[in-house]
Amino acid sequence: NKNYKEECFMPWNKNDYPDAMKNLDNQVKGKAIEIANELVNQNYSEGRAIPIAIERAREWADNNGSNSSNSKIYHLVPDDDKWEIKKENGERASFTFDTKKEARDKANDMMKNNSLTIVIHKNDGTIEDTLTS
pLDDT tens per residue, range 106-121: 999 988 877 788 999 9
Q: Are residues 101 and 92 in contact, defined by beta-carbon separation less than 8 angstroms?
A: no
Predicted TM-score (pTM) above 0.75: no
Residue 4 — left, alpha, or beta (φ > 0 → left; ψ -120 to 50 → alpha)? Answer: alpha
Q: Are residues 11 and 46 in contact, defined by beta-carbon separation less than 8 angstroms?
A: no
For the chain, the structural domain boundaries read: 4-67, 72-132
Per-residue pLDDT tens digits for 58-103 = 888 777 654 444 458 899 999 999 999 998 888 889 999 999 999 9
